[in-house]
Structure 1
């Protein structure tokens, strides 16, 4: 069971005790991501994810790296459209050390000019890698096609232009504006004691010397692509396509049925897309569907990577499967998908890192905590009628398409039938 405490500073602490393990995973979750940035700040959240490892007034970058290496621990960070997280996994006895290092980074990052310049090149290289990876790039393009100019469509890395222009004052100002107690969730799981984590939070974080804080106001997406096609030319041996629609927010009650739908449509080897596209027709090695949920919106996409000469046939299959699934869902498919989700959920949460991440994300995004047992009950309660209903609700919206491959950017008319 989890325990939750709201401190006077505004920091939220959530923990889950796992007595059968000797590890502890700690995460410091900042409730801002790429959707909260202005044009001048585009990429700031991710830039800071890098910079906080470069040093504080007490520790150099090497000191930070060596501190956890010396006890066999692991430390890392990630940025999403709505969150930034710094986390460490250590032996339970070393949790105070891990907390001291992470807290030092979050409270007292130097963000020195020299470090900004050095890390700028690292981030630019990361953007280059993303642009050079067509099966990643197509998902960014799909997000932009569906969500248009909404901040959720922004690439988390920022752009080469925004990162090149970004000044040290912009990055440091964003840090001081957003890394505040009211934006901070401390999550820990493993062989941890809740009261001890609360004490460490008070001692090591306090009010971050920057009391208060509020996340920038967020506006839900209201306008979508509705039949848009984007073609990006790349001289690749494969064509990469994503066909899809706006999805559901993470508090939507239909999200459980959508997860079941996603699993039976494109979530495994027995899914409709895998069976029809790979097993029956041999059109692709990789095909799947996915759902991305945010606090006030989402995406649902179906992906295939195929030979350029087969792209039209592959798209036809994607379209047909999205068209018919609402009418053709069977009770057997639903039960099989529910079993896959149930097993996958339990197996994915057997380590302290997964448990910490699940708790931290729910609290940091303002969602109600859904326990593992509750989640399994929600999945188990989904019926075939629920799946048909959510398929009609989500998949029968006007669709959008992103294509990356050896096609001319003027070939959008060729692909228009897929979204007609």
Structure 2
């Protein structure tokens, strides 16, 4: 798989992968998210993402919604703690139209007052519906508990109070500061040439369109130690109890992150033979959902284990989770266990790469974070070099009980 990258004259970073398919994918990634917000305007990054679809100097909101859909294509967007992404899926002959549309949304949005008022109500409803889903809400509450005053503690959707505080001028100021070409990447996966893709982007992402201002992200200091309570229980009127156990972990630039990713997959990855799933669900029938996740950020990372269970079984499940963590910390994996874990991890990686839309999104993020897109062969080689000793050392650095925090809805 050959991925080509280039930084264009406008400052935007371009990544390209050729595939033989009638379908093409493109994504505009902006290096701004929840952590870049004024705390009093929490949720503005996500609010901005919504408002990009509500009218530009060239299109009304209804024309934006119908522009690609009438061609059989799709237009979507999402916001994370550190990025905002607008992406499209179209027939390859319609790719120029998709590239032009993403540029129009990023640089020519008008944020009309009438649409702003309606969308604010939509987001408030989104927040309310989120609160009805404890298995998702608990992660926001855990972030707040773990990260405290750090910007990563804030929920992506914001709060009803902060959303009502946001004004159109705040969104315009946010866009003016963050939506600049040197703070963006554009990725294409499709059956065109690298040069044709470059010409398309140069046509619609000129230096003047992005107000070519250098934006430097100010990363606040990330405190490791804290005196917050290690186990926090929140009463909830739900049938199930929900539990998140987690800690701060490696950032995007630390070499140990790949070993921790492998540990995460061993413990609670998507496969049904993950250790926690085999124990909590298959062996004892205590939980339907159990998983582990690891999310690296620019200056820290987040490792979590989640399970939902009957309220009477919380303590037993926690004991079983800690037992599995202890096994990883007490002795190194055998060579057979290590080979099996790597084989599974590499297989999942290969399958994910086969998803062209997912690959397009990963390429865009990689350019924003690292300035390059690492080849799959290089990633495979780094996975193969992971040793049992590295797994053991990372487990003993990250998973010790004195580092772990727990939030329980009970």
Query: How far, CA to CA, are the matches of 2:90 and 2:353 in structure 1?
Result: 17
Q: What is aligned with 2:328?
A: 325
1:215 CA displacement: 4.2
Q: TM-score, normalised by structure 1?
A: 0.92
How far residue 257 of structure 1 moved from its aligned partner, in angstroms, is 1.2
Q: Contact 1:16–1:192 at 8 Å: present in 2 too?
A: no
1:219-238 deviations in Å (ceiling 9; x for gaps): 24223546533322220000
Choose from 259, 263, 266 the match for 2:265. 263
- Alignment match, 2:157: 157
Question: Could you say which residue in structure 1 is the equivalent of 2:278?
Answer: 275
Does residue 311 of structure 1 match 2:319? no
Tell me whether 1:37 sits opposite 2:37 in the alignment: yes
Q: Name the counterpart of 2:218.
A: 217
What is the deviation of 1:324? 2.9
Deviations 1:345-376 (A, max 9, x none): 11111132122111101111235422111111
- Within-5 A mapping of 1:189-268: 189-207=189-207, 208=209, 210-225=211-226, 228-267=230-269, 268=271
Secondary structure, counterpart of 2:304 in structure 1? strand
Could you report, residue by residue, the CA deviation over 1:168-216 in whole angstroms, capped at 9, with x for unpaired residues? 1111211112111111111111213222222222211212252224043
Counting matched residue pairs gives: 404
8 A contact 1:33–1:82 mirrored in 2: yes
The verdict on how the C-alpha distance between 1:243 and 1:225 changes in structure 2, with shifts beyond 3 A counting, is farther
1:166 matched to 2:166? The reply is: yes
RMSD of the TM alignment (CA)? Answer: 1.6
* Divergent runs of 4+, >6 A: none
Matching residue of 1:341: 345
Deviation sequence 1:113-164 (CA, Å, 0-9, x none): 1111110011111111221110011111222222111111211111111001
Question: Which residue of structure 2 lines up, in the alignment, with residue 180 of structure 1?
Answer: 180
- Is 2:80 the partner of 1:77? no
Q: Distance in 2 between matches of 1:242 and 1:318?
A: 11
SS class of match (1:365): helix
Separation in 2, partners of 1:367, 1:100:
24
State the distance in 2 between where 1:145 and 1:330 align: 36
Report how far residue 54 of structure 1 moved.
0.8
Please say if residues 10 and 212 of structure 1, whose CA atoms lie closer than 8 Å, have aligned partners that are also in contact: no
Structure 1 residue aligned with 2:379: 375
2:302 maps to: 299
Distance, in Å, in 2 between the alignment partners of 1:141 and 1:224 is: 19
Q: In the alignment, which residue of structure 1 is the partner of 2:135?
A: 135
The offset of 1:96, in angstroms, is: 0.2
What is the alpha-carbon distance in structure 1 between the residues aligned to residue 147 and residue 282 of structure 2? 33
Provide the rounded CA distance (Å) in 1 between the counterparts of 2:161 and 2:198: 42
Mark the CA change 1:72 to 1:370 in structure 2 (over 3 Å): closer, same or farther.
same
Question: Aligned partners of 1:146, 1:224: CA distance in 2, in Å?
Answer: 10
1:413 is matched with which residue?
none
Comparing 152-161 and 215-224, the one that deviates more? 215-224
Q: Secondary structure at the match of 1:334?
A: helix
> 2:391 corresponds to which residue?
387
The 5-angstrom pairing of residues 40-55 of structure 1 reads 40-55=40-55
What 5-or-longer segments of structure 1 have no aligned partner? 406-420
Q: Distance in 1 between matches of 2:378 and 2:404?
A: 33
Q: Contact between 2:23 and 2:89, CA under 8 Å: does it hold in 1?
A: yes
Q: Which residue of 2 aligns with 1:408?
A: none
Specify the alignment match of 1:400 in structure 2: 405
The 2-side partners of 1:312 and 1:127 are apart by: 30
**Partner Cα distance (1:65, 1:147) in 2:** 37
Q: Secondary structure at the match of 1:70?
A: helix
